[in-house]
Amino acid sequence: MRVLMFGWEFPPHIAGGLGTACKGIVEGLAHNGVETLFVMPSASGDEDQSCTRIINASDVAVQNVSETVDEFLNKVKFIHVDSNIVPYVDPDEYFEAIEKMKREHSTETTVGFGQKFKFSGKYGANLMEEVSRYAQVGGTIALQHKDEFDIIHAHDWLTYLAGIAAKELTGKPLVVHVHATSYDRGSEDMIDTRVLAIEKRGMQAADKVVAVSELTRNIVINKYGISPDKVVAVHNAVDFSGRENIKVERGVKDKVVTFLGRITFQKGPEYFIDAAAKVLKRTRNVRFVMAGSGDMMNRAIRQVAKLGIADRFHFTGFLRGADVQKMFALSDVYIMPSVSEPFGISPLEAMRSNVPSIISYQSGAAEILKYAFKVDFWDVDAMADDIYALLQYPALSSFAAKQGLDEVNALKWDHATAKLKTIYESLIK
């Protein structure tokens, strides 16, 4: 069995969990006898291709355009606004993006026949334009490789239009993989209607919709109106192969409680800060770390200052790669108080580092993690109680760490992708 897979990023150059999940999926599929062609907007050339063949969309000239996608894109108006707002980037990438915006303003949304487009593959100010161009190039790639795949698999809304184009031009079945929805990223009154429209169009066009959790599956059914028979939950996993536990010098005697993720509404940073303040009223031998960046960073800093806990609270900025593992190694407790989390890989990574974890019931990971402590994101009293208990009672902490490690080591991509293979087989006539 062969799959044409559309993604947006792939390790080592990733901004979050989407690229990590894509790598785990292609490796798991390979172990289950499934070959993949992985298409991404901009490949660097240093990606691991031992389990997949990567196609760089920036190297492909447009030859074929899907009528359905073209019609949809013609209804979407892109208006250039001089603004310094850039989503999904860390501080270094932000300043780089601003400098690039000063040098070049691109408002063209189509790629002409025989033309190539140099994708950034980032999440910058022209993201919607890149998504539309990717859809146009995706159709060409699908036709060029029509005899090399049996099914199409598109990851997240960024690639749904490309998946639709590939399906229309080749007639092959389409699976869309929902890693997150617009309803996870912010409150309903703040939803980007353009993204929402693409998500809905992709789910409607798909032959099967794969959701990363039952939580996400219910959102797809109830918010997007997709038939329950069409939506299947396949939980994420974590690949720990080749990863050794890191030893670090802490430098302080205090316990360390860590929040690691984007500092955005979805991740619940304000609830973490409120819980920290409550813990610090009971003990001072603890430090709280918020590792990440995002649009609520300044608000979080002001909240910490207002609560008078700045001497016990640390902001690291965005962390990646080995720095993430060092942060886990320094931590005594990890917490993910997400308001809405489709899955959430970070607590699995923390538990793999022997760090007891507290997660919200409003996360997909809560469906499969028996030995993580669970609270409602808004219940800061319960959150503070769990933090305090894990800090004060070594036997409890040790038990949670040991059981958690055994639990996450059993969550293999091979198992998750075996379910994907079954879904593929059901669609191939």
pLDDT per position as a tens digit, 169-218: 999 999 999 999 998 876 677 788 889 999 999 999 999 999 999 999 99
Looking up residue 359, the CATH number of its domain turns out to be: 3.40.50.2000
Nearest to 271 by CA among 354, 331, 358, 330: 358
Structural domain including 328 reads 255-409
Percent of the chain with pLDDT over 70: 86
Single pTM value for the model: 0.82
Q: Kindly give, in sequence order, each residue whose CB lies less than 8 Å from that of residue 105, ignoring residues fewer than 6 positions away.
A: 80
Q: What pLDDT was estimated at residue 78?
A: 47
- The phi, psi pair for 313, rounded to 5°, reads -130, 135
**Cα(78)–Cα(128) distance, rounded to whole angstroms?**
8
Q: Are residues 279 and 226 in the same domain?
A: no
Evaluate whether residue 247 is within a structural domain: no
Say whether both 16 and 91 belong to one domain.
Answer: yes
Query: Are 275 and 198 within one domain?
Result: no
Task: Find all residues with CB under 8 Å of 25, minimum gap 6, and list them.
Answer: 5, 413, 416, 417, 420
Q: Does residue 103 form part of some domain?
A: yes
Q: Side chain identity at 15, as an amino acid letter?
A: A
- Residue with the larger pLDDT of the pair 113 and 6: 6
CB 162 within 8 A of CB 139: yes
Residue 408: which of 356, 363, 361, 340 has the closest Cα?
356
Is residue 249 assigned to a domain? no
Residue pair 423/208 in contact by the 8 Å Cβ criterion? yes
Residue 89 has pLDDT above 70, yes or no: no
* 207 and 345 fall within a common domain: no
Confidence at residue 380, expressed as pLDDT on a 0 to 100 scale? 97
Give me the torsion for CA of 130, 134, 135, 137, rounded to 10°.
140
Q: Which residues pair with 174 in a beta bridge?
A: 152
Q: How many structural domains compose the chain?
A: 2
In a domain, residue 242? The reply is: no
Together in a domain, 178 and 191: yes
Shared domain check, 261 and 201: no
Q: What are 428's two structure tokens?
A: 């191939």
> Is residue 381 domain-resident?
yes
Distance CA 156, CA 311 (A): 40
Residues 6+ apart with CB under 8 A from 252: 287
Together in a domain, 116 and 22: yes
Work out the percent of the chain whose per-residue pLDDT is above 90.
64
Cα-based torsion angle of the residue sequence 24, 371, 259, 18 in order, rounded to the nearest 10 degrees: 20
Considering only 93-102, 205-214, 232-241, 262-271, which range has the smallest mean pLDDT?
93-102
Query: How does residue 81 score in pLDDT terms, banded at 50, 70 and 90?
Result: very low
Q: At what angle do helices 269-280 and 297-307 cross, to 10 degrees?
A: 20
Residues 184, 268 within the same domain: no
My answer on whether 190 and 266 are in the same domain is no
221 & 280 share domain:
no
Q: How far is CA 424 from CA 7, 147, 282, in A?
A: 17, 17, 54
* Beta strand spans in 47-97 (E): 53-56
For the cut 60, the answer to whether the pLDDT of residue 112 exceeds it is: no
Task: Specify whether 184 is located in the same domain as 295.
Answer: no
Per-residue pLDDT at 119:
86
Report which of residues 377 and 65 the model is more confident about: 377
Indicate whether 180 and 260 sit together in one domain.
Answer: no
Contact 355, 332 (CB under 8 A): yes
Q: For residue 42, what pLDDT band results from cuts at 50, 70 and 90? A: very high
Mean pLDDT across 26-48: 94
Residue 200 lies in a domain: yes
Banded model confidence at residue 384, pLDDT cuts 50, 70, 90: very high
Within a domain: 343? yes
Contacts of 11 (CB under 8 A, 6+ apart): 19, 20, 23, 47, 48
Other beta carbons within 10 angstroms of residue 33's beta carbon come to 8
